[in-house]
Amino acid sequence: MAGHAAKHDYHLVDPSPWPFVGSVGAFLLAIGAVGNMAGLVSAEHPLAFMYADGSWGGLALGFLIVIWTMIGWWGDMIKESKRGDHTAVVDIGMRYGMILFIASEVMFFVAWFWSFFEYAIFHEVRMDPALATWPPAGVETFNPWHIPLMNTLILLLSGTTVTWAHHALQHDDRKGAITGLIFTVALGMCFTALQVYEYSEAHFAFSMADGGNLYGSTFYMATGFHGAHVVIGTIFLAVCLFRLLAGQMSAKKHFGLEAAAWYWHFVDVVWLFLFAFVYVVYQG
Amino acid sequence: MSADAATHDDHTPSMWDWRRWVLSTNHKDIGTMYLVFAIFAGIIGGGLSGLIRWELMEPGLQVFTGEDTGWGALFGNAHNYNVVTTMHALIMIFFMVMPAMIGGFGNWFVPLMIGAPDMAFPRMNNISFWLLPASFALALMSMFVPGAGADLGFGGGWVLYPPLSTSGHNGPAMDLLILSLHIAGVSSILGAINFITTIFNMRAPGMTIHKMPLFVWSVLVTVFLLLLSLPVLAGALTMLLTDRNFGTAFFAPEGGGDPVMYQHLFWFFGHPEVYILILPGFGIVSHIVSTFSRKPIFGYLGMAYAMVAIGFIGFIVWAHHMYTVGMPVDLKAYFVAATMVIAVPTGIKIFSWIATMWGGSIEFRTPMMWAIGFIFLFTVGGVTGVVLANAGVDQALHDTYYVVAHFHYVLSLGAVFAIFAGWYYWFEKIFGVKYNSFLARAQFFFFFIGANVIFFPQHFLGLNGMPRRYVDYPDAFEFWNAVSSWGYVIMLVGMVLFFAVLIDAMIRRRKADANPWGEGATTLEWTLSSPPPFHQFSELPKIK
Amino acid sequence: MPDLYGEAMRFLTALALTWTTFAAGAFATPGQPTDGALGLQPAVTPIMEDIVSFHNILLVIITVITLFVMGLLIYVMIRYNRKANPTPSKFSHNTLLEVVWTAVPVLILIGIAIPSFPLLYKQDVIPAEIDFTLKATGNQWNWSYEYPDHEVAEYFSNMVEDEDLEPGQLRNLSVDYPLVVPVNATVRLQVTASDVIHNWAMPAFGTKMDAIPGRINEAWFQATQEGVYYGQCSELCGLRHAFMPIEVHVVPQDVFDAWIAAKAEDEYSEAADAIIAEYSAARETRLAQLD
Ligand code: HEA
Ligand code: HEA
Ligand code: CUA
Ligand SMILES: [Cu+2]
């Protein structure tokens, strides 16, 4: 709290509307999603455009509020940072926070890898013989040495460019930092584009409705969640790029960029595991 | 809201200013909101368990008859019985015990005990809280939308096993429940990040990790379990969601999926979760035992590392919930051994509490009575856990009321007793007023007797073969079921007394002292006024 | 308003009944629950015998531990309360004690493990010599059975509804077409499900196996006493989870053979039912004479 006589360096944050607004957003997003997927009201209901089966209204409303919260919340943080609230000890706290957040993300991916390995290794318990082999009958897996290898190289390269940006910034070389970041964001976009292309080439389906099976489920959900993280990481880095251009980062204070870089490395490592196991070891 | 208007550090906003609560960034206010929320959820969860006991009082269908009673089919049919048990469990776990222990007491006392002015991320702290009402609302809504066919709500048990939770429940009720748990999970993960950062980064000068009060240790271990186990649940829930709505085959055998896979993912979360529910209680009880024995806690380091050990082993025993799924026998043998090992660190805790009391000068104030009740009842629940750990016997007891008895001894008589112990230990600190300890002790006795009468006979039912999640049972299970239901009535008197204590304290408003417990109470929160100033430790305390 | 007096009397009668017969044991009818009973159902298979005796050991161990903890608590409450001991001592360490209360539980647990693992392996390893295979499929909400080795076509086994109960049948336990197995035969049980997870559980046999769609689980039993045994679905499977019981008749080999022959003709054969009914009636008269 600015202006009060605390004799410590911790940051006592002012009261804020965002947590409450964000929770309302999360609630609306959830019922919007359920409406869209399963239908909460009939097609005749006055709120059908929001919550009937297949409607996007409720989902959009919730999503907008969540995005609004993010902009407002992180915007406030930037203001507080400028105001000098982020002292050295607060900065350490944010580092802990980011590391722990990434740790929880790692455990989220554990779930997807676990179900992939379960099927890749213990498929023989399946009663249906067509599903008890690896890969399951009718599934033609990707050749890892084409697009996947390409994507691996792209991500590894982007890992170096983001480090370049970071080091440049540490040495007050703004130009180098900006170039490094631009490269990183561009490489991230390349990765996403290639992955979309790869999906379009796949010889196995996602949904059982299209003849898919567990192979498709684990493949698309694991690589898909990874892809989503790449997109989020790219946005995160892009925001850092804009903040850098806006002069909000200095050689001394640029935790936003560091957090984005950590996140990017995490996404990178997840990909290495995907590449090694989903594409190479268990290619069938 | 602008801070320069505050002429004085401790200018506490008015109770009645809605902004104080809705926009809060104050750990004590947020803690209070969590406690109120937990009590509210406890009433609903306890009410639902009343419906269960009412239905099971006699053989045949009493409550969930599906017949028009003249007021309509008030509570629905056997499906709704399953909905009620499912929601009872989820509400008690996610919306009562966790918010009370971690959100409520954790928020209030972790910063106070380590000499910090607030949590590390005060604003994030508030979203951890406000996501809970959002999540709770979704869970409650799910009870009133179609679940299986025309029947309302999700009735597949709190473990949400597919295929019953996928193809077995085609309506939106299950989707609402999945997203409710996702949001509760996000709330807890954010809370976990907040606590770990606070504890690592904001201890007062001199408060080394080995000087931290045991409650702080217990919360630290708990939130690590949350941080590492909840995301796995989130993954499993997401798989349920996509299986239901997007045609994936994770748990659908016709597409190569395996329902047992879900159980592994669920229990990889679910077993650590049960320690999440009890560890903060261990911390609370340690403080109370030491305070009222006027002795330092016996074997502090052993106590702290026993919790670390419990937390660690808690991650490698999950499949003891799955002995009957048809696992390879060697795997079962491993899980038997690993599970039994947990009895060792837990025993260390039990015996260290007793050793703390040994040689002490014990005063039987209200919190101490709950704490001693906890130690004994938790032991009863713990040793039946060791019985269940033996897969050979679990074959007879799995999914019977023996299991129900086991986990209510550790939860409803363990975790809940610890919550009430903490409630009466810190009540005056939190609210700044005294309570009537005669009424509070009476509540203890009604709870102690009532809960034992409810749950002890369930061991007999389980041994004799009564399966759980049954809306109706063969006539030969009548006797002990009737006893169990009468126990509920005894416990209800205790609930009434709980509210009597609250109302009495609210009306009389007798000003509380900073430290009502005397020299035994040594942690930092007792050095502050009751209630503490709005912002404490503007000058950080120094620990010798 | 419930009948309080009746309730209380029933309570006292059952209390007296069970707790006097508890020591004497074996009062309960094998194969079904007994009102007011305190323990496991009587065993009729070697596995269940082992479970019962292992459980008896465990019960003693956990009772002793619990009483020990209770005794310690009572002792400190009396000896070290504020009146009895106004000045607390300040010790907070005793290495020997800490070692003891770590080591002794470890030893107890090892003691538990010694009978535990053999039991587990006995249950889970299907004997090499089996007499025949029985297949049970869980459906919402009944069981269907096959005797693949005897070419009996799949038949469904539904609970007898309350209004159709005949004298001697048990509410929520009796079924229309039960399972029949010969006494002393070693039976391999295969369990699966057609829709959601169910669980084939037979307390008197010590058998409990999940019926999981897409998987076949195996268990085995060898019933050593003739009689009728009841079990219930033990995995939540929806609306009528409480109403899909299991009934097994254990009969002499010749009765079984006759029954199988009739079943092989027609899986819902009335002749087969008659064979079992006739045998049961004869057995009941015999038992009545024995009493
Ligand atoms: C607070 C919650 C909590 C706690 C602390 C525990 C503690 C333990 N639980 Fe429990 N358990 C549940 C909550 C909890 N459980 C729930 C909710 C379920 C059911 C879920 C569902 O299916 O819905 C369950 C089910 C459950 C099962 C599965 C049963 C089945 O479905 O068939 C098993 C099996 O191993 C088990 C074992 C144990 C063990 C070994 C402990 C140990 O940690 C206990 C250790 C404590 C002691 C042993 C007592 C003190 C020690 C001493 C005094 C030392 C000396 C003792 C010895 C040498 C034995 N539990
Ligand atoms: C924390 C967990 C918890 C708690 C407290 C309880 C409390 C109770 N439970 Fe529950 N129960 C479960 C967790 C819990 N239960 C779970 C996990 C299941 C399994 C569900 C499934 O099969 O899927 C279950 C199932 C279950 C069944 C089996 C149903 C079946 O299988 O068909 C029964 C039957 O008697 C039952 C009864 C009761 C009763 C009478 C209480 C009473 O003790 C209730 C009395 C009320 C209270 C003790 C609450 C008081 C607390 C407050 C008011 C809050 C106070 C807060 C502060 C002071 C901050 N419960
Ligand atoms: Cu079938 Cu429960
Ligand atoms: Cu467990």
Please tell me the distance between residue B275's alpha carbon and the centre of ligand 4 in angstroms.
Answer: 8
B465 token code pair? 């073969």
Considering only CB atoms, A16 lies closest to which of B23, B193, B228, namely B23
CA-based Rg of chain A, rounded to a whole angstrom? 23
Question: CB A13: neighbour CB atoms within 10 A?
Answer: 21
Average pLDDT of chain B is 94
Instruction: Say if the Cβ atoms of B348 and C101 lie within 8 Å.
Output: yes
Query: What share of chain B in percent tops pLDDT 70?
Result: 97
Kind of pairing between the strands at C152-157 and C142-147: antiparallel
Determine the pLDDT at residue A3. 44
Helices in B103-161 by DSSP H: which ranges?
107-114, 122-142
Determine the pLDDT at residue C284. 85
Full DSSP string of B397-409: HTTBHHHHHHHHH
φ and ψ of C234, to 5 deg: -120, 30
CA gap B77, A279 in Å, rounded: 50
Please write the tens of the pLDDT for every residue from A110-157. Answer: 999 999 999 999 988 888 888 989 889 889 999 999 999 999 999 999
Contacts of B156 in chain C (CB under 8 A): 236, 238
* Cβ atoms C60, C111 nearer than 8 A: no
Average pLDDT of chain A is 94
Instruction: Say if the Cβ atoms of A115 and B261 lie within 8 Å.
Output: yes
Average pLDDT over residues A233-257: 94
Please tell me the distance between residue B42's alpha carbon and the centre of ligand 2 in angstroms.
Answer: 9
Q: CA angle B178-B179-B184, nearest 5°?
A: 100
With cut-offs at 50, 70 and 90, classify the pLDDT of residue A2. Answer: very low
* Cβ atoms B366, B424 nearer than 8 A: yes
Instruction: Say if the Cβ atoms of B460 and C81 lie within 8 Å.
Output: no
Buried b (16+ CB within 10 A) or exposed e, B504-541: bbeeeeeebeebebeebbbbbbbbbebbbebbbbeebb
Atom of ligand 1 nearest to the CA of B277: 1
With cut-offs at 50, 70 and 90, classify the pLDDT of residue C289. Answer: confident
| Probe target for ligand 2 pocket from B92, B366, B483, with the most ligand atoms within 8 Å of CB | B92
Report the pocket of ligand 3 as residue ranges, CB < 6 Å. Answer: C 138, 141, 198, 233, 235-237, 241, 244
* Cβ atoms B353, C18 nearer than 8 A: no
* Cβ atoms B471, B512 nearer than 8 A: no
Contacts of B400 in chain C (CB under 8 A): 234
Considering only CB atoms, B256 lies closest to which of A1, A213, A220, namely A213
pLDDT at B2 over 60: no
CA of A7: which chain B residue's CA is closest?
B539
Q: Measured on CA atoms in the order B55, B60, B62, B66, is the torsion positive or negative?
A: positive
* C111: Cβ contacts below 8 Å, ≥ 6 apart: C61
The chains in contact with chain A, meaning 3 or more Cβ pairs closer than 8 Å, are B, C
* Cβ atoms B95, B48 nearer than 8 A: no
Please write the tens of the pLDDT for every residue from B119-172. Answer: 999 999 999 999 999 999 999 999 999 999 889 999 999 999 999 999 999 999
CA of B401: which chain C residue's CA is closest?
C234
Atom of ligand 2 nearest to the CA of B471: 32
pLDDT at B3 over 50: no
CA gap B204, B198 in Å, rounded: 11
Mutate to test the interface with C, among A124, A127, A208 (most CBs of C within 10 A): A127
Contacts of C217 in chain A (CB under 8 A): none
**Helix (H) / strand (E) containing B24:** none
Please tell me the distance between residue B462's alpha carbon and the centre of ligand 1 in angstroms.
Answer: 15
Kind of pairing between the strands at C152-157 and C227-233: unpaired
B455 token code pair? 């749950």
pLDDT at C5 over 80: no
State the count of interchain CB pairs (< 8 A) between A and C: 7
Closest ligand (CA of B410) = 1
* Cβ atoms B198, B111 nearer than 8 A: yes
B143 token code pair? 């009870």
Q: CA angle A200-A206-A212, nearest 5°?
A: 115
Average pLDDT over residues B329-348: 97
Instruction: Say if the Cβ atoms of C121 and B475 lie within 8 Å.
Output: no
Kind of pairing between the strands at C152-157 and C179-182: unpaired
Report whether the peptide linkage leading into residue C141 is cis, meaning its omega lies within 30 degrees of zero: yes
CA gap A174, B207 in Å, rounded: 41
* B508: Cβ contacts below 8 Å, ≥ 6 apart: B433, B434, B436
* Cβ atoms B232, B268 nearer than 8 A: yes
Query: What share of chain C in percent tops pLDDT 90?
Result: 81
Atom of ligand 3 nearest to the CA of C234: 2
With cut-offs at 50, 70 and 90, classify the pLDDT of residue A225. Answer: very high
- 3-state class (DSSP) for residue C215: coil
With cut-offs at 50, 70 and 90, classify the pLDDT of residue B265. Answer: very high
* Cβ atoms C195, C213 nearer than 8 A: yes
**Distance (Å) from the C-alpha of residue A270 to the closest C-alpha of chain B?**
15
Buried b (16+ CB within 10 A) or exposed e, A202-239: bebbbbbeeebbbbbbbbbbbbebbbebbbebbebbbe
**Closest by CA position to B145, among listed B80, B55, B235:** B80
Pick the residue whose CA is nearest to atom 19 on ligand 2: B89
C72 token code pair? 């310690």
* B188 a catalytic residue: yes
Please write the tens of the pLDDT for every residue from A148-196. Answer: 999 999 999 999 999 999 999 999 999 999 999 999 999 999 999 999 9
**Distance (Å) from the C-alpha of residue A95 to the closest C-alpha of chain B?**
9
The gap from C-alpha A69 to its chain's centroid, in whole angstroms, comes to 18
- 3-state class (DSSP) for residue B364: coil
Cα dihedral B127→B133→B136→B138 (10° resolution):
-90
CA of C193: which chain A residue's CA is closest?
A127
Q: Classify the phi-psi angles of A54: left when phi > 0, otherwise alpha if psi is within -120 to 50, otherwise beta.
A: left
Mutate to test the interface with B, among C57, C96, C233, C235 (most CBs of B within 10 A): C235
pLDDT at B266 over 50: yes
* B361 a catalytic residue: no
**Closest by CA position to A59, among listed A36, A41, A40:** A36
Please write the tens of the pLDDT for every residue from B52-91. Answer: 999 999 999 988 988 777 776 678 889 999 999 999 999 9
**Closest by CA position to B64, among listed B170, B151, B175:** B151
Considering only CB atoms, B324 lies closest to which of C101, C195, C209, namely C209
Determine the pLDDT at residue C7. 64
* Cβ atoms B396, C59 nearer than 8 A: no
Catalytic entry in B267, B275, B323, B409: B275
With cut-offs at 50, 70 and 90, classify the pLDDT of residue B333. Answer: very high
pTM, rounded to two decimals: 0.95
CA of C213: which chain A residue's CA is closest?
A127
pLDDT at C8 over 90: no
Average pLDDT of chain C is 91
The label of the residue with tokens 């702080």 reads: B216
Considering only CB atoms, B357 lies closest to which of C40, C80, C241, namely C80
Determine the pLDDT at residue B7. 40
CA gap C281, B397 in Å, rounded: 33
